Amino acid sequence: MIKVHCVSFSGFCTSHISWHVDCSLKMMSLYAGYDVFLGNFRGFVSREHVDKKISSQRYWRYSINEHGTEDIPAMLEKIHEVKTAELKISNPDEETSHEQPYKLCAICHSLGGAAVLMYVITCQIEEKPHRLSRLILLSPAGFHEDSTIVFTAIEYLLCLLAPSMAPLVPAFYIPTRFFRMLFNKLARDFHNYPAVGGLVQTLIGYVAGGDSSNWVGVIGLPHYNMNDMPGVSLRVAHHLAQIKRSRRFRMYDYGSASVNMELYGSPEPLDLGEYYGLIDIPVDLVAGQKDQVIRPSMVRKHYKLMRDSGVDVSYNEFEYAHLDFTFAHHEELLAYLMSCLLLVEPAPKHQSSNKTVKLKKKGQQSL
């Protein structure tokens, strides 16, 4: 029997820990009988690197492109390696098949949703197996034109200043142990002094357009500590600003027609929304009615494009704010996720692209 497994990718400045807080027992109940793999994007957890002397400028030189074309492929290939090895041990007499001996469902939140969509589409363009059987996307990033005035102001600042800021400020993060300790102490004080925590929660919620997520609770997660804390690459922030300004879900614009031509085969970045027709697995989209970070209208834009492209897609809404999907699970969401997992089917055979696209990474040959 082919077994179903799950892989989860979290969002902006969070890690696998966000899937466990306050709901670990519920999540264990949800995933009863499933193998669960929790993925982390670079920069959001430990910043250890094989090159111990790597500079900050070089380390932080990545956008959402790298999340979707390098981080996710590396994690899924490792899962494939682990599961095929396990299956060979448990069934040594079974004949080798070219078909994938397991099903893999991806449950993604926010930035993780945009990255996994990029991953699936680029795999299809490059005619590589994506190894996924279903996508469940909780408030996925990708379209952001309908947002608050604060996010619009940040968009204008980043689009204007990011190219000149890059050599000096490659990322937004707390660089030293001392200042991380101070931040960690403040985060604990927000919890220990409810009046102060309530004020900070109100201020952050105001900046986020009135989103009622538990922002103070999030910065108290274990991966916000004096030894290490999540950081945001300037290119990731700039990429999101580009997406918002262009009103299209597209790959990173390097600001040079020649560089774009080398990487994408055109002067403009690849518009991923135009290639939604290549998605060959079911997609479940979920929006939060109280979400002011990624509003329901933006999730519905994903849905409309997918539906018009012939994708097997569903759409649902819950009365949640942005972080409620991972930080404050409710029984109705868990029941919904379980119902989606029960529908997981084996990934169909690869479909090739009908459009000619040149897509490569720096230092690689064109496909």
Domains of the chain: 3-143+271-341 (3.40.50.1820), 175-229 (no CATH)
Give the other-Cβ count within 10 Å of 300's Cβ.
Answer: 17
pLDDT per position as a tens digit, 82-104? 888 887 776 666 555 567 778 88
DSSP codes of every residue in 90-143: H-TTSPP-SS-SEEEEEEEETHHHHHHHHHHHHHHHTT-----SEEEEES--S-
> Does the pLDDT at position 108 exceed 70?
yes
Mean pLDDT of 154-177: 90
Residue 295 CB partners (closer than 8 Å, separation 6+): 146, 147, 287
Separation between Cα atoms, residue 31 and residue 11, nearest integer Å = 20
pLDDT of residue 251: 96
* pTM reported for the whole predicted model: 0.87
- Is residue 327 within 8 A of residue 217, CB to CB? The reply is yes
In sign, the C-alpha dihedral spanning 231, 26, 303, 348 is positive
Residue matched to tokens 């597209």: 250
As beta bridge partners, residue 4 has 103
The alpha carbon of 240 is separated from its chain's Cα centroid by a whole number of angstroms, namely 12
When pLDDT is cut at 50, 70 and 90, the band that residue 25 belongs to is very low
pLDDT of residue 367: 36
pLDDT of residue 94: 59
Pair of tokens at residue 251: 């790959």
Pair of tokens at residue 46: 């430990």
When pLDDT is cut at 50, 70 and 90, the band that residue 15 belongs to is low
Residue 317 burial class via C-beta count within 10 angstroms: exposed 0-12, middle 13-18, buried 19 and up: middle
The helix/strand/coil state of 144 is coil
DSSP codes of every residue in 184-233: HHHHHHHHH-HHHHHHHHHHHHHHTTS--S-HHHHTTSTTSSSS----EE
Separation between Cα atoms, residue 311 and residue 105, nearest integer Å = 16
pLDDT per position as a tens digit, 229-240? 788 899 999 999
pLDDT of residue 29: 45
Mean pLDDT (the chain, rounded): 83
Closest CA to 18 of 343, 348, 325, 367: 325
Closest CA to 47 of 187, 180, 162: 180
Pair of tokens at residue 44: 């959001």
Give the other-Cβ count within 10 Å of 252's Cβ.
Answer: 21
- Is residue 166 within 8 A of residue 59, CB to CB? The reply is no
> Does the pLDDT at position 21 exceed 70?
no
More confident residue, 175 or 62: 62
Mean pLDDT of 157-166: 92
pLDDT of residue 327: 75
Separation between Cα atoms, residue 328 and residue 295, nearest integer Å = 18
The alpha carbon of 184 is separated from its chain's Cα centroid by a whole number of angstroms, namely 25
5-19, 67-81, 168-182, 238-252: the lowest-pLDDT one = 5-19
